[in-house]
Amino acid sequence: MHPNAELIERFYSSFAAKDAGGMRACYHKDVVFSDPVFPHLEGDRARAMWSMLVARGKDLKVVASNVSADDKTGRAHWDADYTFSKTKRPVHNSIDATFEFRDGLIIKHTDRFDLWKWTRMALGAPGVLLGWTPIIQNKVRDQADKGLEAWLRGS
């Protein structure tokens, strides 16, 4: 297995074990992370986001698959099952990740998933009816960013 594939495996093994420190250790100091909820996080904010998610994900289950990498890029698929804390609704999120590497660490991490599908699971009827709209999707992003800011102030 390529060392960068091993790095991705280590990242997701740490995630599954709720070991935020292990996850953070896989990231380059200048890492850039993005997904549909957090469109652009750099460095400490990206690392803090994982710490927050691991700490808050009491029933979080993570399974990674199809990990591959070469000297420059990598990819993986991962599934997350958890209860969304605000609504107590179950969520199964299916995510495709891509990675870029520098100095033996992850420098860029991009997760892709269907935000409308996520809103339908996490928010229930409002997500079903309006989860596709920019109003709801931007509200989800805004609330997530406020949660991360509060986490950063408290940590």
pLDDT, residue 111, reads: 98
What is the predicted pLDDT for the residue at 134? 81
Tokens 């935020």 label which residue?
20
Phi, psi of 42 (to 5 degrees): -120, 150
**Burial, 122: exposed, middle or buried (Cβ in 10 Å; 0-12, 13-18, 19+)?**
buried
Give pLDDT, residue 87: 87
For residue range 82-95, list pLDDT tens digits in order. 998 888 999 999 99
User: According to the model, what pLDDT value does residue 44 have?
Assistant: 93
pLDDT tens, position by position, 10-42: 999 999 999 999 999 999 999 999 999 999 999
Which pLDDT score is estimated for 48?
94
Cα–Cα distance for residue pair 149/146, rounded to 1 Å:
5
Q: Which of 106, 91, 111 is closest to 38 using CA atoms?
A: 111
The two structure tokens encoding residue 45: 């904010």
Report residue 61: phi and psi, to 5°: -125, 130
Count of CB atoms situated within 10 Å of the CB of 81: 14
Per-residue pLDDT, averaged over 58-80, amounts to: 96
N-terminal to C-terminal alpha carbon distance within the chain: 36
| pLDDT tens-digit readout, 121-154 | 988 877 777 778 788 888 889 999 999 999 999 8
pLDDT band with cut points at 50, 70 and 90 for residue 45: very high
Domains of the chain: 3-113 (3.10.450.50)
* Mean pLDDT of all residues belonging to the chain: 93
Q: What pLDDT sits at residue 155?
A: 60
Confidence of residue 106 (pLDDT cuts 50, 70, 90): very high
> Between these two residues, 60 and 85, which has the higher pLDDT value?
60
The 3-state DSSP class for residue 132 equals coil
